[in-house]
Amino acid sequence: MPIFDAGLILRIQQSNDIVDVIGEHLALKRKGREMIGLCPFHEDHRPSFNVNPSKQIFKCFACGAGGDVVKFIQMRENLSFPQALHRLADRAGIKVEPLRPKKSNIEHQESGIEVDPNAIARANAWAAKYFAVNLAHPEIGKAARKYVAERQLSDESVKNWQIGLAVGTSNDLLAAARQKKIPDKLLMAAGLIVGSGLSLSDKFVNRLMFTIADPTGKIIAFGGRTLTGEGAKYINSPTTALFDKSNALFGLDQARHKIVSSDVAVVVEGYTDCIMSHQFGVSNVVATLGTSFTSGHARILRRYAKKVVLLFDSDTAGLEAANRALQVALSSRIDIGIASVPQGKDPCDFLLAKGKEPFEKLITQATDVFAFKWDRLKASLGSQPTIAGKKQAVEEYLDAIAAAINAGNVSPIERGLIVNNLSRIMSLDTKEINRELIHRTGRVKTASSYTASADASHTPLDTGVGLSAIAQSEILEVLLAHPSMFDDAKDKISPDDFDVPAFRQVAQAVFTTLAGQPRAALQIICSAVEDPRIAGLMTTLEHEGSNKGNYSKRLIDALAALQQAKNQKNRASKEDLIRDISKQDRRNIGLI
Ligand SMILES: [Zn+2]
């Protein structure tokens, strides 16, 4: 049962202008009729990435990535085709049937209500408004507003970050929600209430409420800071269908544009640290939610930035944190810098005391995590550079790196880069380091051991060799660049005539789309395929086709060549058949 029919896909595609959407992820500059930028899908040093506003297509001329707006989101956010469609439908405010996991009828009846992530998000949005109204209330919000003022959070920040208040009665939100006919089960699924049966109560009581959103701004959870000193200082929403704290970052929705344009993401530890950074105009800052920085966080930030700076309160920045960060840096293949705020302050205090420039200086002067670990180790071994001391430091350091490498599926190329880096930091010969590392990590892992789904989209497609493959590619080039030629081809061949699998997939999309919609643009044909690699191939073929022109003659020649190749194949298989039969005959003769 397809949730997305072709009409809906087109509506979603057309409601999300590709320049706007891509512009939210990378800096684009106008060049003639196109927009160009640095490709986010390969290590790009000159702008190879083109966005064509009139065709609504993107194309990288270096790595071959290409397609429509849906393919971009699929690749960029590492989403499936339906997930990317959902994301873009949300962005454009188009209502789509929820993606439901298949459930048996019994389960369905037992749960009573579908725990639909979109419904949870709506309940959260309602709760955020409710909390905000509480905080603004002249009487109810008075004490909390005093706290906010003491922390020097501006009115604008309170509004931008949807800060609110959970009041002191334990069923306040529950009662308000019931009045609004919001089902208890939904509040439970959203983590807004706790308990069971008749003893239900609010999860957050007497707390200043911080709203946690996903990168698109959808509210996925809350964090609450105690206003009375009772209980934990901070509590978060529990894990729900929308929220997992080890994979969520506070403030990413507000920070991601600046993260993309600066290529650096700064990670702090607290809500107010993050909000205060933005309040001071440093807006590439996000916060972890009471957990240390994980590889899940790194994977998310890698979509937006090349480098992450972890900014610790000085008392927590230690070797412990550096060790974990080292492991994350290696396993997530992202540069990590470590910085700490001096004199036992947290970033929020530091900003208020010193201002923006010194804060930015802390960030730009962050130490690469490898060097950080090495420096700390040397320091801990004392200032006397004895040979024994140095040897111990080297051993301990390489042990830590080896453990991180073993945990992180590091390819030989990356390993080479790491060794060069270590050689520079430790002033030791690369050969020596390599020998020591190999000794510690056991067998060198091959590059193929890293097969994250995001990277599968980068493995090149096999487009075949020989005359038949060239003919297939020519035909598709012509049809994609000049769809009106379809009339000259449709009766002569079918997608089954394309025996190169990648070309056959392109042909299937071309033939079905153009049969129903003659002269459909590339963007529309593109929406008929789910695999971004096939879309990339399509955009390459279309580009080649437009450059070569001469459509009619090329189509005729290619059709003839393909026909010839087909005849040859038929002949060959007939000969094979005859040979087989005659072999059998011989056997038969032998039997007789
Ligand atoms: Zn590229």
**Which CATH class name applies to 467-571?**
mainly alpha
DSSP string, 43-57: T-SS--EEEETTTTE
The pLDDT assigned to 35 comes to 94
CA of 116 to the centre of ligand 1 (A): 36
The pLDDT assigned to 207 comes to 96
The pLDDT assigned to 448 comes to 30
What's the pLDDT band for 457 if we cut at 50, 70, 90?
very low
Average pLDDT over residues 345-368: 93
Q: Which pLDDT tens digit goes with each residue over 505-528?
A: 999 999 999 988 888 889 989 988
Per the structure block, which two tokens stand in for 240?
């729900």
Q: Is the pLDDT of residue 362 over 80?
A: yes
CA of 74 to the centre of ligand 1 (A): 15
CA of 172 to the centre of ligand 1 (A): 52
Percent of the chain with pLDDT over 90: 44
What's the pLDDT band for 453 if we cut at 50, 70, 90?
very low
The pLDDT assigned to 459 comes to 55
The pLDDT assigned to 409 comes to 55
What's the pLDDT band for 581 if we cut at 50, 70, 90?
low
Query: CATH 3.90.980.10 occupies which residues in the chain?
Result: 115-243
Report the phi/psi class of residue 310: left, alpha or beta, with left for phi > 0 and alpha for psi in -120 to 50: beta
User: 224 pairs with which residues across the strands?
Assistant: 209, 235
Q: Which pLDDT tens digit goes with each residue over 84-101?
A: 999 999 888 888 765 454
The pLDDT assigned to 460 comes to 61
Strands in 57-60's sheet, in edge-to-edge order, are 29-31, 34-37, 49-52, 57-60, 66-67
CA of 63 to the centre of ligand 1 (A): 4
Q: Which pLDDT tens digit goes with each residue over 36-47?
A: 999 988 888 889
Question: How far is the C-alpha of 365 from the C-alpha of 372, rounded, in Å?
Answer: 12
CA of 470 to the centre of ligand 1 (A): 24
CA of 530 to the centre of ligand 1 (A): 19
CA of 325 to the centre of ligand 1 (A): 28
CA of 217 to the centre of ligand 1 (A): 28
CA of 42 to the centre of ligand 1 (A): 5
CA of 26 to the centre of ligand 1 (A): 13
CA of 28 to the centre of ligand 1 (A): 14
CA of 143 to the centre of ligand 1 (A): 53
CA of 76 to the centre of ligand 1 (A): 12
Average pLDDT over residues 542-554: 90
Q: Which of 52-56, 99-103, 173-177 has the highest mean pLDDT?
A: 173-177
The pLDDT assigned to 278 comes to 97
The pLDDT assigned to 108 comes to 37
The pLDDT assigned to 109 comes to 36
Q: Which pLDDT tens digit goes with each residue over 379-388?
A: 766 655 666 7
The pLDDT assigned to 240 comes to 87
Q: Which helix (H) or strand (E) covers residue 566, if one does?
A: helix 551-591
CA of 15 to the centre of ligand 1 (A): 25
- CATH tag, 115-243: 3.90.980.10
Q: By the 8 A CB rule, do 24 and 59 touch?
A: no
Q: Which of 125-129, 216-220, 287-291, 308-312 has the highest mean pLDDT?
A: 125-129
Average pLDDT over residues 339-358: 90
Q: Is the pLDDT of residue 589 over 60?
A: no
CA of 537 to the centre of ligand 1 (A): 13
Q: What is the mean pLDDT of the chain?
A: 83
The pLDDT assigned to 583 comes to 57
Q: Is the pLDDT of residue 184 over 80?
A: yes
Average pLDDT over residues 433-453: 55
CA of 37 to the centre of ligand 1 (A): 10
Strand ranges, E, within 167-299: 193-196, 199-202, 207-213, 219-226, 234-236, 264-268, 285-287
Claim: this prediction has a pTM higher than 0.75: no
Q: Is the pLDDT of residue 487 over 80?
A: yes
Query: CATH 1.10.860.10 occupies which residues in the chain?
Result: 467-571
CA of 472 to the centre of ligand 1 (A): 25
**Which CATH class name applies to 245-378?**
alpha beta
The region of weakest confidence among 130-144, 422-436, 463-477, 519-533 is 422-436
Average pLDDT over residues 307-327: 76
CA of 106 to the centre of ligand 1 (A): 48
The pLDDT assigned to 494 comes to 92
CA of 20 to the centre of ligand 1 (A): 19
CA of 458 to the centre of ligand 1 (A): 10
Please classify residue 325 by burial: count the beta carbons closer than 10 Å to its beta carbon, then call 0-12 exposed, 13-18 middle and 19+ buried: buried
Q: Which CATH superfamily is domain 6-92 in?
A: Zinc finger, CHC2-typedomain (3.90.580.10)
Q: Is the pLDDT of residue 1 over 60?
A: no
The pLDDT assigned to 59 comes to 94
Question: How many Cα atoms within 13 Å fall on the side-chain side of residue 440?
Answer: 20
CA of 62 to the centre of ligand 1 (A): 5
Q: Is the pLDDT of residue 481 over 90?
A: yes
Report the phi/psi class of residue 197: left, alpha or beta, with left for phi > 0 and alpha for psi in -120 to 50: left
CA of 218 to the centre of ligand 1 (A): 29
The pLDDT assigned to 6 comes to 77
Residue that has been written with the tokens 């020519």 in this structure: 474
Query: CATH 3.40.1360.10 occupies which residues in the chain?
Result: 245-378
Q: Which of 66-70, 390-394, 567-571 has the highest mean pLDDT?
A: 66-70
Average pLDDT over residues 2-17: 82
Q: Which pLDDT tens digit goes with each residue over 262-311?
A: 889 999 989 999 999 999 999 999 999 988 888 889 888 988 888 999 99
**What φ, ψ does residue 213 adopt, rounded to 5°?**
-115, 160
> Measured at the alpha carbon of residue 295, what is the angle toward residues 77 and 255, in degrees to the nearest 5?
55
Tell me the torsion sign for CA atoms 374, 375, 380, 382. positive
Percent of the chain with pLDDT over 70: 85
CA of 56 to the centre of ligand 1 (A): 17
Q: Which residue has the higher pLDDT, 165 or 296?
A: 165
CA of 47 to the centre of ligand 1 (A): 9
Average pLDDT over residues 345-357: 92
Closest CA to 34 of 61, 16, 8: 61
Question: How far is the C-alpha of 40 from the C-alpha of 19, rounded, in Å?
Answer: 15
Average pLDDT over residues 41-55: 89
CA of 267 to the centre of ligand 1 (A): 27
Average pLDDT over residues 353-369: 93
The pLDDT assigned to 592 comes to 35
CA of 201 to the centre of ligand 1 (A): 52
Question: How many Cα atoms within 13 Å fall on the side-chain side of residue 370?
Answer: 21
The pLDDT assigned to 152 comes to 95
